[in-house]
Amino acid sequence: MAERPHDPDRGFAAANGWEGPFEEFSDYELPTYVGPTTFMNLPWITDPAELRRQGVDVAIIGAPFDDAVSHRPGARFGPRAIREAQYTSGSINSLQLGVEPFEVLKVVDAGDANIVPAWIERAHAFIYRKVREVAATGAIPIVLGGDHSITWPSATAVAEVRAPGTIGIVHFDAHADTANDDWGVLAGHGTPMRRLIESGAVKGKNFVQVGLRGYWPPVETFEWMQEQGLRYHFMHEIEERGAEAIVAQAIEEALDGPDFIYLSVDIDVIDPGLAPGTGTPEPGGMLTREVLRAIRQIVGAVDLVGMDIVEVSPPYDHAETTAMAANRAALEAISALAVRRRDGTSVRWDPPVERATR
């Protein structure tokens, strides 16, 4: 049996071996389960003036809201779960792209929108305000949802900040989310793309959708989409032609018209056998690796001005597989942006002072 320390005259720390020259690590370098929960242990900076002063390139924003769901709830817990679904900390290296993104870009966690439950209009208002104030600093907001209704205020905010330039949307989803209403509710999670188009924030011809499948929406909704000029790709096209060909076509379509691209990823585009933690699971979806590769390819090819990752519902997420996919989706986008910066392409935007502080 080991001998217990028993010399109090030396001091308990010395007697117990606690006075050694131990290295102290920064919060950023600590294991991910230590300290406050931020995305990849990145600094938590919520003040827009500080984001601008530091020249932040990418800012993570949480939108913990799911009061607009039509089926399974729980996505309000998505932002926290996505932040926690990580095992690395400190400087990381993308094996796919050969870049250390946090050495190339200034990335921070800008905190959450000021959400309270059971008040859709207020939640959307504060998501809009949060995304707008972050985007106005020149940083690219990556918004962690939350149900898909958050895309309406989030993309609207980015479109306003970047006006008079126009934005297009590349939308990965099992569902088109272009319904006129959800049982009379105009702001449901099945309606955000229609609201964006009807409001004029985004033109229908600047929408590209990938991964649609299943039994929704009804025929009349697709007729409306055709009238608006939306371009969309069903899952059976991916099955027949391969994800590589469809993503290449989607990139070509995305670059046809708009000045900038906003990327919206509903995690249910992935097959529920791989990502079960979502509110409206739809069998027969894309592989996780296909979606992550698509994100790298799209962000590497377009001028990205914003992104959201939505519909992660932790109560249904066995072994955190869905949250991990969402976490990695954000990382792939950040890494692709880092490659663009490394290769000489501008990433962040330098807004006029009056717009950033308005």
Rg value, the chain, Cα: 22
**Band (356; pLDDT cuts 50, 70, 90):** very low
Beta-ladder partners of 167: 260
Confidence of residue 358 (pLDDT cuts 50, 70, 90): very low
Q: In the predicted model, what is the mean pLDDT of the chain?
A: 94
**Average pLDDT score over residue span 259-285:** 98
Residue 211 has pLDDT above 80, yes or no: yes
**Nearest-10 crossing angle of helices 321-342, 288-301:** 30
pLDDT (mean) for 284-307: 98
Tokens of 214: 């299943």
CA distances in angstroms from 164 to 71, 194, 284, 286, listed in the order given: 37, 21, 40, 35
Residue 166 gets the label, from left (phi > 0), alpha (psi -120 to 50) or beta, of beta
| 59 vs 288: CA distance, rounded Å | 24
Return the C-alpha torsion angle 32, 34, 39, 45, nearest 10: -150
Provide the pLDDT for residue 152: 98
Question: What domains are defined for the chain?
Answer: 37-345 (3.40.800.10)
CA distances from 222 to 15, 115, 173, 176, 228 (A): 75, 33, 15, 9, 10
- Burial of residue 223 (number of CB atoms within 10 Å: 0-12, 13-18, 19+): exposed
CB 83 within 8 A of CB 93: no
Rounded Cα gap, residues 181 and 323, in angstroms: 28
Whole-model pTM: value is 0.93
